[in-house]
Structures are given as C-alpha cells and as structure tokens.
C-alpha cells in the first residue's frame, strides 16, 4: 500500500513539474500567477502526454525482453495523441502571437517539458530502481487496458480538450 501511495505521489509531483516546465516556468516562478489560461490548458495536456511518452521510452530502453512490448505501446500512444499534439501546437502558436511573440515558436516550451520529463523519470529510475521496474510493468498493463493514464484524453481531460477544440 505504501508503494502505491508513493507511486501516486511521484506521478503527482511529476505532473506539477511538467505543467510548469511546459509553460516555460520553474517551480516558484512568480510569472506562473500571470500565465495565460490557454497556456495552463496546453501545459496540462502536453505535460501529461510527454510524461507518458518519455516513461514508455525509458521503459523500452531498459525493458529487456519486454522492449518490443514497450515499443508497441509507445507507437500506439504516439499515433493516438498525434492529432492532439498538432492541435496543441497550432493553439500555442496562436496564443504566443496574441501575446505579441511575432516568431511564435513554442519549441523552447516543448524542449523544457521534454527535458523535465526525462530528468524526473531518470531520477526515479536511479533513486528507486526496483520501484521503477514495477512501475514500468504497471504502465504497460494499463496501456494495454487503456485505463488511467491511457484512457482517452477526452475522458481524462474533458475541460481542457473542450477548450482546445473551441480555441479560435
């Protein structure tokens, strides 16, 4: 039971860091209070997507006999979220333009979220290797069952997906 609570706590902390990182902000950054509401939506969606992709990829690399299973789950998930990622990119570019960013290049935001996800997951892997292996196995199981983190994004984040759909 303590391990399950610890896993939920780790995932919650990871999600919080990714949300800020995807918005280009660090923990405690005062600018986080003034973030555009759509950036919060995008950060939440992108942060969760990139965390799952990164976790699956790290599990794949260290998956031994199960590497192909992780690769299949990763490919399937990437295919499923590709339209959402394209919409996120279009909306984020629009938000940046509306804020006066003429270049409207969100690549630094994506890079920050990707780097934060990889750092957190590698940190977990190094500090708790046994738990990491267990979490990888659990991740593969829920990917196959399409539940929890792998439930459709519209089920997991209905408000955020609606906001993304409605952005003009």
Helices (H), ranges, 99-156? 107-127, 129-145, 153-156
Lowest mean pLDDT among 24-33, 57-66, 124-133: 24-33
> Which residue from 78, 87, 26 is spatially nearest to 52, judged by alpha carbons?
78
Q: Is the pLDDT of residue 82 over 50?
A: yes
Q: Which two tokens stand for residue 134?
A: 């267990």
The mean pLDDT value of the chain amounts to: 80
Q: In whole angstroms, what is the distance from residue 48 CA to residue 29 CA?
A: 20
Q: What are phi and psi of 126, to 5 degrees?
A: -75, -40
Judge whether residue 2 has pLDDT over 60: no
* The two structure tokens encoding residue 61: 């690399």
Q: How far apart are CA 120 and CA 50, in angstroms?
A: 12
Q: Which of 17, 12, 35 is nearest to 27 (CA)?
A: 17
Tally of domains in the chain:
1
Domain that holds residue 143: 2-166
Averaged pLDDT for residues 112-126: 89
Distance CA 92, CA 103 (A): 12
The encoded tokens of residue 102 equal: 């003429």
Q: How far is CA 2 from the centre of its chain?
A: 24
Q: Which of 1, 22, 7, 4 is nearest to 117 (CA)?
A: 22
Q: Is the pLDDT of residue 10 over 50?
A: no
- The length of the chain is 168
CA–chain centroid gap for 7, Å, is 16
């Amino acid at each position: 039971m303590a391990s399950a609570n610890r896993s939920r706590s780790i995932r919650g902390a990871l999600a919080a860091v990714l949300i800020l990182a995807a918005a280009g902000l660090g923990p405690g950054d005062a600018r986080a209070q003034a973030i555009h509401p759509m950036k919060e939506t995008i950060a939440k969606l992108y942060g969760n997507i990139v965390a799952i992709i990164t976790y699956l990829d790290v599990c794949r690399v260290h998956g031994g006999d199960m590497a192909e299973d992780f690769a299949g789950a990763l490919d399937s998930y990437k295919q499923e979220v590709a339209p959402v990622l394209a919409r996120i990119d279009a909306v984020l570019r629009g938000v940046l333009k509306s804020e006066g960013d003429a270049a409207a290049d969100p690549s630094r935001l994506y890079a920050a979220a990707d780097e934060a996800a990889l750092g957190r997951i590698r940190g977990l892997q190094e500090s708790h290797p046994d738990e990491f292996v267990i979490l990888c196995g659990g991740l593969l199981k829920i990917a196959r069952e399409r539940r929890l983190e792998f439930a459709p994004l519209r089920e997991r984040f209905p408000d955020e997906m609606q906001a993304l759909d409605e952005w003009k």
